[in-house]
Amino acid sequence: MDHSTAYRLIVEYLSQRFGVPLDKIKPESKMFDDLGLDSIDALDMLALLDKQYRVKVNEEQARRIRTVEDAVQYVLANLPANASPP
Protein backbone atom coordinates (compact mmCIF):
# COMPACT_ATOMS: atom_id res chain seq x y z
CA MET A 1 0.00 0.00 0.00
CA ASP A 2 1.37 3.40 -0.89
CA HIS A 3 0.96 6.71 0.93
CA SER A 4 -1.96 7.99 -1.16
CA THR A 5 -3.91 4.74 -0.69
CA ALA A 6 -3.33 4.78 3.07
CA TYR A 7 -4.34 8.45 3.24
CA ARG A 8 -7.53 7.76 1.27
CA LEU A 9 -8.33 4.86 3.58
CA ILE A 10 -7.98 7.03 6.70
CA VAL A 11 -9.97 9.92 5.18
CA GLU A 12 -12.81 7.63 4.09
CA TYR A 13 -12.93 5.99 7.49
CA LEU A 14 -13.02 9.29 9.38
CA SER A 15 -15.72 10.64 7.10
CA GLN A 16 -17.94 7.56 7.02
CA ARG A 17 -17.56 6.30 10.58
CA PHE A 18 -17.47 9.59 12.45
CA GLY A 19 -19.17 11.98 10.02
CA VAL A 20 -16.17 14.28 9.78
CA PRO A 21 -16.66 16.61 6.79
CA LEU A 22 -14.13 15.89 4.06
CA ASP A 23 -13.03 19.52 3.92
CA LYS A 24 -11.89 19.33 7.57
CA ILE A 25 -9.65 16.30 6.97
CA LYS A 26 -6.14 17.31 6.00
CA PRO A 27 -2.79 15.63 6.75
CA GLU A 28 -2.08 18.17 9.49
CA SER A 29 -5.57 17.91 11.06
CA LYS A 30 -5.36 16.95 14.71
CA MET A 31 -7.50 13.91 15.44
CA PHE A 32 -8.76 15.15 18.80
CA ASP A 33 -8.69 18.95 18.55
CA ASP A 34 -9.63 19.51 14.91
CA LEU A 35 -11.74 16.44 14.09
CA GLY A 36 -13.45 15.93 17.45
CA LEU A 37 -12.38 12.34 17.99
CA ASP A 38 -11.65 10.90 21.41
CA SER A 39 -9.37 8.08 22.52
CA ILE A 40 -12.13 5.48 22.12
CA ASP A 41 -12.67 6.60 18.52
CA ALA A 42 -8.95 6.22 17.85
CA LEU A 43 -9.03 2.68 19.27
CA ASP A 44 -12.05 1.88 17.10
CA MET A 45 -10.12 3.02 14.05
CA LEU A 46 -7.12 0.86 14.95
CA ALA A 47 -9.34 -2.15 15.61
CA LEU A 48 -10.92 -1.79 12.18
CA LEU A 49 -7.53 -1.45 10.51
CA ASP A 50 -6.39 -4.59 12.31
CA LYS A 51 -9.50 -6.51 11.30
CA GLN A 52 -9.63 -5.42 7.66
CA TYR A 53 -5.96 -4.99 6.77
CA ARG A 54 -4.08 -6.86 9.52
CA VAL A 55 -2.34 -3.67 10.66
CA LYS A 56 -0.44 -4.62 13.79
CA VAL A 57 -1.61 -2.60 16.77
CA ASN A 58 1.22 -1.35 18.93
CA GLU A 59 -0.26 0.58 21.86
CA GLU A 60 2.87 2.62 22.51
CA GLN A 61 3.08 3.75 18.89
CA ALA A 62 -0.68 4.27 18.69
CA ARG A 63 -0.57 6.73 21.58
CA ARG A 64 1.65 8.96 19.47
CA ILE A 65 -0.97 9.37 16.75
CA ARG A 66 -2.08 12.98 16.88
CA THR A 67 -2.73 13.95 13.26
CA VAL A 68 -4.18 12.35 10.15
CA GLU A 69 -0.65 12.07 8.75
CA ASP A 70 0.46 10.29 11.93
CA ALA A 71 -2.31 7.74 11.32
CA VAL A 72 -1.22 7.27 7.70
CA GLN A 73 2.39 6.75 8.75
CA TYR A 74 1.25 4.31 11.44
CA VAL A 75 -0.65 2.25 8.85
CA LEU A 76 2.29 2.21 6.46
CA ALA A 77 4.72 1.20 9.20
CA ASN A 78 2.54 -1.59 10.60
CA LEU A 79 0.91 -3.06 7.50
CA PRO A 80 1.97 -6.62 6.70
CA ALA A 81 4.15 -6.84 3.60
CA ASN A 82 1.67 -9.13 1.83
CA ALA A 83 -1.44 -7.02 2.48
CA SER A 84 -3.31 -5.85 -0.57
CA PRO A 85 -4.85 -2.38 -0.83
CA PRO A 86 -8.63 -2.01 -0.67
Q: Residue 79, CB half-sphere, CA atoms under 13 Å: how many?
A: 21
Q: Which residue has the higher pLDDT, 74 or 42?
A: 74
Q: Is the pLDDT of residue 82 over 80?
A: no
The pLDDT assigned to 39 comes to: 81
Q: Is the pLDDT of residue 86 over 70?
A: no
Residue type, 78: N
Domains, the chain, ranges and CATH? 3-78 (1.10.1200.10)
Distance, CA of 8 to CA of 43 (rounded, Å): 19
Is the torsion defined by CA of 81, 8, 48, 46 positive or negative? positive
For residue 6, what is the enclosing H or E element?
A: helix 3-18
Q: What predicted TM-score, i.e. pTM, was given to this entire model? A: 0.85
Q: What angle do CA 1, 24, 53 make, to 5 degrees?
A: 25
Could you read off the pLDDT of 28-37 as tens digits, one per residue? 999 999 999 9
